[in-house]
């Protein structure tokens, strides 16, 4: 027995919603085999018309095709519903058609008499015309657009994925947003592919409509004449009118839904629905309306033409153009001379001394819209995203980036400053896109050749209309704001050590003291001064070691501060403690550590130099220093050809010396010590520096 709980669960709104789809499909299939009375046919035909109108309205107000992603399924269900109704109505027409024009219900009778005036010849012609329009024009066009859109969407997927990865790496979006964008790209391909297939159902439905009509007319004549002894003319009139009414009541909703399909797949995604797009783009040019009104007015003055209609429409267009022009003209305002403030002589004061911004961005006047929220500029929001991502990846919050315009720059130029000095500059064109060549593009694009300001890759500035084409051909396409923010993100990571000042360090320690109050209290200033902690963190950041694991860093400093206050020694100890995280930066967990190494004779020489107090290569004989640089460059090139990180493994005693000496010549080189490699990782030496000497 069904108890109250079971009945309640079955009638739950969520369960009913889940069962709605299967029940609808079963009912549609049942209509093909079960006889339906005329009243039920009237209800279902009216329901079919209502569904088609709802689908059309939704397609008109949809701003993005993916907002109506269920449309291909709706198209298939509507097609099955029409075919089922055709079968059910055909059964009733053949069984009861001899009784009169209302044998198959009032809806079919109305379409057979009211719409075509009871003339079956006219009805037949109208029906065939509707089928031809639906099949040859709307359905074929919508299917072709869906087919091409599906192919272009699939071809553009790699470029769109790279653009998402570029935004993710630049800190403009998070993992969740990147996941959502990737899902949207996949849904686009699925949607247009489904629309391509669903259009085949619609075209098949049009062909089936013609065949069902012919079969019903011929079958009706045979049934009426042979079974019910009707005269041929009376049978032809009855059955033909019923068949035409049946065909029209099915084809008009089919035409409406086919039109909706064409509207959905031919839409260009914007923030406007179809009505807003038409009004804003078709009637937004007053000069076009004026010219059209003049042409119609001249045609209306020609003798023999329908003068009233032409002149009426010309007047309406002229009035619309007049209102448009009137609205675009700014109201006149009285100009008043600006009041000149009185200039008082004042002594110089300390207020005249303004501190230099730690980080700054200066832009030319054509880039001002990128930072102006009133003009939908999103650069400020993106820069905040960069700072947030930097804090998550590096371990401290960088200073605020102060933005100002600079009329001395070229209109599209910008430059990035660190403590008043320029550390990067480039050009960005608002409204255009930068197509970056990652090395596997299939064609050259028209535009302004340049290079990516952040990484120096070959690129070209293109118009917005070429964006899809560039993505299809393998380019990574980014907008003007992304160009600037990616450059900023690259530079602040490169200069992370210089961004950690005492103020930032103090804020970091204050933040950590909430979680680890005792650790911070024991370390600063009891064991180490703030300056020493800053120097240790500076050493780590200078070699691209993040400081997210501040708990380990503080533990190590607290443990060894009593033995040494030297920042270099403390840095080496911390690097050993962070060894697993450092190695994972370059070699994935579990992978073999494939690195370069020093020849043992060269190691001994450098250890002697270190013991004699040589720093920054000052104690290295010039010939040996030159040989060391050449050998390291050669080994780094070989490592790069193998697709491996450029990492040199050396004894801990000379790691700091070599890292400092080689950093300027080979900024991409990372120097690790043996103590930093976890015991669980396997080491493979790919090349030996100094082995040829």
Residues 456-475, mean pLDDT to the nearest whole number: 90
Instruction: Report the alpha-carbon distance of residue 89 to residue 211 in Å, rounded.
Output: 15
Query: What total number of domains does the chain contain?
Result: 5
Residues 543 and 633 placed together within one structural domain of the fold: no
Classify residue 77 as exposed, middle or buried by CB count within 10 Å of its CB (0-12, 13-18, 19+): middle
Residues 93 and 125 placed together within one structural domain of the fold: yes
What is the residue-wise DSSP string for 7-51? HHHHTSHHHHHHHHHHHHHHHHHHHTTS---HHHHHHHHHHHHHH
pLDDT-derived band at 338 (thresholds 50, 70, 90) equals: very low
What sign results for the dihedral spanned by CA atoms 487, 490, 494, 497? Answer: positive
Residues 404 and 466 placed together within one structural domain of the fold: yes
Domain with residue 684: its CATH number is: 3.40.50.12790
Residues 490 and 507 placed together within one structural domain of the fold: no
Residues 601 and 543 placed together within one structural domain of the fold: no
pLDDT value at position 616? 44
pLDDT-derived band at 330 (thresholds 50, 70, 90) equals: very low
Residues 520 and 597 placed together within one structural domain of the fold: no
**Are 563 and 522 in contact, with CB atoms under 8 Å apart?**
no
Q: Check pLDDT > 90 for residue 320.
A: no
Q: Check pLDDT > 70 for residue 118.
A: no
Instruction: Report the alpha-carbon distance of residue 505 to residue 547 in Å, rounded.
Output: 11
Q: Check pLDDT > 80 for residue 436.
A: yes
Residues 181-203, mean pLDDT to the nearest whole number: 75
Residues 534 and 615 placed together within one structural domain of the fold: no
Decide: pTM greater than 0.75.
Answer: no
Q: Check pLDDT > 70 for residue 618.
A: no
Q: Check pLDDT > 90 for residue 231.
A: no
| 50-64, 144-158, 268-282: least confidently modelled range | 268-282
Residues 29 and 176 placed together within one structural domain of the fold: yes
Does residue 198 belong to any structural domain of this protein?
A: yes
Does residue 256 belong to any structural domain of this protein?
A: yes
Does residue 251 belong to any structural domain of this protein?
A: yes
Domain with residue 524: its CATH number is: 1.10.8.540
pLDDT-derived band at 615 (thresholds 50, 70, 90) equals: very low
Segments forming the whole domain that contains residue 306: 283-326
Picking from 577, 608, 628, the residue at the C-terminal end of a domain is: 577
Higher pLDDT, 27 or 498: 498
| 62-76, 264-278, 640-654: least confidently modelled range | 264-278
Residues 398 and 540 placed together within one structural domain of the fold: no
Residues 596-620, mean pLDDT to the nearest whole number: 75
Picking from 495, 514, 547, the residue at the C-terminal end of a domain is: 495
Task: Report which DSSP code applies to 119.
Answer: -
pLDDT value at position 525? 85
pLDDT-derived band at 452 (thresholds 50, 70, 90) equals: very high
Q: Check pLDDT > 50 for residue 340.
A: no
Residues 146-163, mean pLDDT to the nearest whole number: 70
Instruction: Report the alpha-carbon distance of residue 632 to residue 624 in Å, rounded.
Output: 12
Structure tokens, 173: 């979006």
Q: What is the pLDDT of residues 556-571, one digit of tens each?
A: 999 999 999 999 999 9
Does residue 346 belong to any structural domain of this protein?
A: no
Residues 155 and 257 placed together within one structural domain of the fold: yes
Does residue 14 belong to any structural domain of this protein?
A: no
Does residue 349 belong to any structural domain of this protein?
A: no
Picking from 534, 551, 577, the residue at the C-terminal end of a domain is: 577
Strand-pair category, 670-673 with 647-650: parallel
Q: Which of 57-66, 79-88, 438-447, 543-552 has the highest mean pLDDT?
A: 543-552
pLDDT value at position 336? 42
Q: What is the pLDDT of residues 378-404, one digit of tens each?
A: 888 889 889 999 999 999 999 999 999
Residues 53 and 131 placed together within one structural domain of the fold: yes
Does residue 100 belong to any structural domain of this protein?
A: yes
Residues 28-50, mean pLDDT to the nearest whole number: 80
Mean pLDDT taken over the chain = 81
Residues 216 and 120 placed together within one structural domain of the fold: yes
Does residue 589 belong to any structural domain of this protein?
A: yes
Domain with residue 485: its CATH number is: 3.40.30.60
């Amino acid at each position: 027995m069904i108890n109250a709980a079971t009945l309640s669960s079955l009638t739950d709104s969520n369960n009913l919603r889940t069962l709605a789809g299967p029940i609808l499909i079963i009912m549609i299939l049942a209509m093909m085999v079960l006889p339906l009375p005329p009243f039920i046919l009237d209800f279902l035909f009216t329901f079919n018309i209502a569904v088609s109108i709802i689908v059309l309205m939704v397609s008109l107000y949809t701003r993005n095709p993916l907002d109506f992603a269920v449309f291909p399924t709706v198209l298939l269900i509507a097609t099955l519903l029409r075919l089922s109704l055709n079968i059910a109505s055909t059964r009733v027409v053949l069984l009861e058609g001899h009784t009169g024009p209302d044998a198959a219900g009032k809806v079919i009778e109305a379409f057979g008499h009211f719409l075509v005036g009871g003339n079956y010849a006219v009805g037949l012609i109208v029906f065939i015309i509707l089928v031809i329009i639906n099949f040859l024009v709307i359905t074929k066009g919508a299917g072709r657009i869906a087919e091409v859109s599906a192919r272009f969407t699939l071809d553009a997927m790699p470029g769109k994925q790279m653009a998402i990865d570029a935004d993710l790496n630049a800190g403009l979006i998070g993992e969740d947003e990147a996941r959502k964008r990737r899902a949207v790209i996949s849904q686009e391909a699925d949607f247009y592919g489904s629309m391509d297939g669903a259009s085949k159902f619609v075209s098949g439905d049009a062909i089936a409509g013609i065949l069902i009509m012919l079969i019903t007319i011929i079958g009706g004549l045979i049934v009426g004449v042979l079974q019910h002894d009707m005269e041929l003319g009376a049978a032809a009139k009855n059955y033909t009118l019923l068949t035409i009414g049946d065909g029209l009541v099915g084809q008009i909703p089919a035409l409406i839904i086919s039109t909706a399909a064409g509207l959905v797949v031919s839409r260009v995604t914007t923030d406007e629905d179809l009505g807003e797009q038409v009004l804003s783009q078709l009637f937004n040019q007053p000069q076009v309306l004026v010219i059209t009104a003049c042409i119609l007015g001249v045609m209306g003055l020609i003798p023999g033409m329908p003068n009233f209609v032409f002149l009426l429409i010309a007047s309406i267009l002229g009035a619309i153009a007049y209102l448009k022009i009137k609205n675009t003209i700014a109201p006149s305002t009285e100009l008043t001379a600006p009041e000149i403030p009185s200039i008082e002589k004042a002594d110089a004061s300390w207020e005249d001394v303004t501190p230099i911004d730690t980080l700054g961005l200066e832009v030319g006047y054509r880039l001002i819209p990128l930072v102006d929220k009133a003009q939908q500029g999103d650069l400020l929001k993106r820069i905040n995203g960069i700072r947030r991502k930097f804090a998550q990846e590096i371990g401290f919050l960088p200073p605020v980036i102060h933005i100002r315009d600079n009329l001395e720059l070229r209109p599209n130029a910008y430059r990035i400053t660190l403590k008043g000095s320029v550390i990067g500059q480039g050009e960005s064109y608002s409204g255009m896109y930068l197509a970056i060549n990652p090395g596997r593009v299939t064609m050259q694009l028209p535009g302004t050749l340049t290079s990516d300001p952040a990484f120096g890759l070959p690129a070209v500035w293109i118009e917005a209309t070429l964006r899809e084409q560039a993505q299809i051909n393998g380019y990574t396409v980014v907008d003007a704001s992304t160009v600037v923010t990616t450059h900023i993100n690259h530079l602040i990571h490169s200069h992370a050590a210089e961004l950690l000042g005492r103020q930032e360090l103090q804020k970091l320690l204050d933040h950590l003291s909430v979680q680890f109050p005792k650790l911070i209290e024991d370390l600063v200033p009891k064991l180490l001064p703030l300056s020493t902690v800053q120097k240790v963190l500076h050493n780590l950041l200078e070699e691209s070691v993040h400081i997210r694991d501040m708990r380990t860093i503080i533990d190590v400093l607290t443990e060894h501060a009593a033995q040494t206050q030297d920042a270099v020694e403390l840095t080496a100890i911390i690097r050993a403690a962070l060894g697993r995280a450092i190695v994972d930066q370059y070699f994935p967990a579990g992978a073999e550590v494939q690195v370069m190494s020093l020849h043992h004779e060269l190691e001994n020489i450098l250890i002697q130099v270190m013991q004699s107090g040589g720093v920054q290569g000052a104690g290295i004989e010039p010939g040996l220093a030159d040989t060391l640089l050449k050998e390291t460059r050669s080994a780094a090139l070989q490592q790069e050809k193998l697709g491996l990180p450029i990492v040199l493994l050396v004894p801990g005693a000379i790691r700091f010396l070599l890292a400092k000496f080689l950093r300027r010549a080979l900024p991409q080189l990372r120097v690790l010590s043996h103590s930093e490699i976890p015991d669980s990782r396997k080491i493979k030496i790919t090349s030996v520096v100094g082995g040829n000497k």
